[in-house]
Amino acid sequence: MQSVDRAVSVLEILAQRGEAGVSEIAAELDVHKSTAFRLLGSLEARGLVEQTADRGNYRLDFGIVRLASTVTHRMDITQQGWPVCERLAEDIGETVNIGVLKEYYAVNLYQVRGPAAVGAHNWVGRLTPSYATSSGKALLAHLTVEERDKLLASGMTKQTPHTITTRSKLEKNLAEVRDRGYALALEELEIGLHAMAAPIRSADGKVIAAISASGPAYRFTEENMRKLSPTLVAGAEEISERMGYFAG
């Protein structure tokens, strides 16, 4: 663990300074120069740092970009999506979220409450079973069967009496999601809660997130959701375009 901590510290030093020599890094870490050299050698072998040609100092290499890419696109989604979320929350009148998959779970990155959503849940950062949420189903629908098998290998447990817990029923539901362009969750996560979600794509066409609208079942009925679904789908398409995706 000490070596890991020191390696991370080296990356932080180079991020702050731009570049630094072995002696500087050793002094900063309070270790012998040979220890600092070994740490830099390991990081260099992984493509995380490189040695400058002219001065012999070290700086961060492009391997850092590879590691950070899965996080940066999530940051981009929030940045590009918030204006659309603000507008949709007003147009639909319910809480709007942007969510992504995190292994078995769907997790929301950004939320805007609609004018009728007084006292609504704060879903940001909350891990929810992907198969029981509209965002999760919008994302699961665009994975391969093999990818879904891996994510759902531990099984599906009932969150409410309405939760889908068999793979055959889920696969049928996900096929419908792909056909109509959006997912519905009717009291599948919580009794009294309805939600719908549409997929967001990256520049290469891959589904990387979902935008959802959720509200109380007595107000946000299935009939209302279906009427409002074109508005949500259009919002998802707008964010996708902001991310660089253009449908053919």
What DSSP assignment string belongs to 163-183? ---SHHHHHHHHHHHHHHS-E
d(CA 22, CA 9): 13
Chain mean pLDDT for the chain:
88
Structural domain spans, the chain = 2-61, 69-242
User: What is the reported pLDDT for 164?
Assistant: 93
- Please provide the CATH number assigned to the domain covering 69-242: 3.30.450.40
CB 215 within 8 A of CB 111: no
Give 119's pLDDT tier (boundaries 50, 70, 90): low
pLDDT over 80 at 70, yes or no: no
Q: Average pLDDT, stretch 218-232? A: 95
Has domain 2-61 been given CATH number 1.10.10.10? yes
Lowest-pLDDT range, 59-63, 101-105, 110-114, 140-144? 59-63
* Residue bearing the bigger pLDDT, 178 or 202: 178
User: What is the reported pLDDT for 7?
Assistant: 87
pLDDT, tens digit (0-9, with 9 covering 90-100), for 128-145: 999 999 999 999 999 999
* Residue bearing the bigger pLDDT, 55 or 76: 76
Q: Average pLDDT, stretch 188-214? A: 94
d(CA 45, CA 103): 28
User: What is the reported pLDDT for 71?
Assistant: 56
pLDDT > 70: what percent of the chain?
Answer: 92
pLDDT, tens digit (0-9, with 9 covering 90-100), for 2-27: 778 888 888 888 888 888 889 999 99
Give 65's pLDDT tier (boundaries 50, 70, 90): low
CB 131 within 8 A of CB 106: no
CB 215 within 8 A of CB 94: yes
